[in-house]
Amino acid sequence: MTVLRLSTGAVVGSVDSTKRWRKALARTGCLPRAVELACATSDGLKQGDELIALVNAAADAGDLHSAQALADSIPLRGPQDRAMVDLVAAWARAGERDRAVALAERIRYPHHWGTAWAGLAKALVDRGDVEDALRFAARADDEVRSYVFDGTGEVLAVLVEVTAAAGDQVRAAALADRVEDFARSRNRKPGSRRPSLAAVLAWEALDGDLDRIDTLLRPAPDRGGRHEAGEAGVVEAVLAWIPPSGCFLKAQDLARVLDAVAEADDPDVALALADRAERLLDTNLGSDIGPDLNLLRMSVTRLLARFGEVERAMAVLEVSGPDECAARQALIVEELAHSGRTDRAEAIARAIADDETRSRALIAVVRALAGRGDPDRAEAVVHLITDEWARGEALVAVVRALAGRGETVRAEALTHSITHRATRARALVALAELSEPARARRLAAQVVLVDGWGAAMPVLERIAPRAVAVIVDQLMA
């Protein structure tokens, strides 16, 4: 604490305007002090957002009673409702179902009701309480039927997940249909389209059902021509929610689906979706699937690389010069390393011509090896990195891996080999986070001396919670 006081005493200025300090105070048992700082904000709406963030920070730290008291004290009803929506799910996750239900009943505005009940249902199904989860999912469904708002699609997407997890596949499929209907009727512009439809498409794809995706990728029917008077009303009603040309699913939508599927370990589904995306990119339908073609190319590339389809991945991105070629190779290396294909990732990284890009790619390989419990090989790869800064970045992962398996002396020795002070401080923080309290405090003091109290904040909350309040008081004095 003395080191901290000396360090902060040398700093001119005050607590910065970000939420970091207030959240740290909330997490370390100093919620009133955090609220005091937040209330210094003059803008009422901004103050409401700050208080909601503090409610969630306290709840995440396990202090639900203080979080509830703060939520009850928020003066504006809109921000108070939003805080209560978050707390409904938090109480349910903590096993306090009755308290969560009582809180949901207190929410004032109808556009929050469906979100609150859906969050409660999701928390309960995650805890294995299927019967009550379905009951509250039905309540959420009733609310969004009676009051449709911009977030209705998101509520329905959560209900798809809840009902599917509860084993009611028929009901889940019906809810998925309603997500599509809502997207067509309310989110026709790709730029304003929410991710709820993409979430449902990813869920269906991972369940082996690609029919909806295929339907949405087909060009819409021609809207030209005239109709008889008797059928005109029906036809216009049907076609009113279909885009005038092209397929309804745009590049951004499909990219979201690919990104979601990439996180699942299902190569058959992933490659089937990649086939569809590649066909779209290879045809002349660019204007039909929207302006975000580069976003889609990146998603396809990442997906293919993650599942080992290196040649296909390299063929997807358009390249206009050697710099772009190197960047594409680095992207593929990162995805290969992430999926555990570290041998091939290292081979491609070594072949990258540009020094800076090769170093970045090798950092990804080192992090993957260290994250999988092989710090010895990770350290060997570090020696291939020629850039001094990049070598230090890679060593942070090695230090963390060594500390994780108890080799703290070796890990600390590596931290002293890192040249850049900020990087060395981060390595010391990683080591301190995995050390016993006395050693952690000594390491934290080193961090402060190397790069200031700001660098030590990630570990101070755990080993010296009072430090957050001390720093704030010193800076505000």
State the average pLDDT over residues 136-165. 96
Over range 311-326, report the average pLDDT: 81
Mean pLDDT, to the nearest integer, of 442-465?
A: 87
The pLDDT score that the predictor gives to residue 265 is 85
Give residue 355's pLDDT: 94
As a whole number, the mean pLDDT across the chain is 87
Determine the Cα–Cα distance for residues 136 and 158; give it in Å rounded to an integer: 12
Q: With 60 as the cut, is the pLDDT of residue 451 above it?
A: yes
pLDDT reading at 10 higher than 80: no
- Give the residue among 162, 156, 206, 146 at the shortest CA–CA distance from 181: 156
CB-hemisphere CA count at 13 Å for 281?
Answer: 26
For residue 126, what pLDDT band results from cuts at 50, 70 and 90? very high
Q: How far apart are CA 64 and CA 43, in angstroms?
A: 27
CA 425, chain centre distance (Å): 26
What's the confidence (pLDDT) of residue 248?
A: 84
Name the residue with tokens 């108890």.
Answer: 406
CA dihedral 51, 55, 61, 63 (to 10 degrees): 120
Q: What percent of the chain has pLDDT over 90?
A: 66
Q: Is 129 helix (H, G, I), strand (E, B) or coil?
A: coil
Q: Which is more confidently placed, 467 or 379?
A: 379
Give the integer Cα–Cα distance in Å for 117 and 139.
7
What does each C-alpha distance from 224 to 221, 235, 244, 270, 368 come to in angstroms? 9, 12, 9, 37, 55
289 touches 296 (CB < 8 A): yes
pLDDT in tens, 42-82: 576 788 999 999 999 999 999 999 999 999 999 999 999 99
pLDDT digit string, tens, across residues 352-409: 999 999 999 999 999 999 999 999 999 999 999 999 999 999 999 999 999 999 999 9
| pLDDT higher than threshold 50 for residue 335 | yes
Provide the H-helix boundaries in 405-465: 408-415, 421-433, 437-451, 453-463
Provide mean pLDDT across the span 170-182: 96
Which of the pair, 151 or 246, is modelled with greater confidence? Answer: 151
Cα 226 to Cα 219, 238, 239, 391: the distances in Å are 20, 14, 13, 68
Handedness of CA 95, 99, 105, 107 (dihedral sign): negative
pTM: 0.84
Amino acid at 319: V
Q: Kind and range of the H or E element at 420?
A: none
**pLDDT tens sequence across 211-263:** 999 999 887 665 444 344 444 444 344 333 334 446 788 888 999 999 999 98
Predicted confidence (pLDDT) at residue 201 exceeds the cutoff of 90: yes
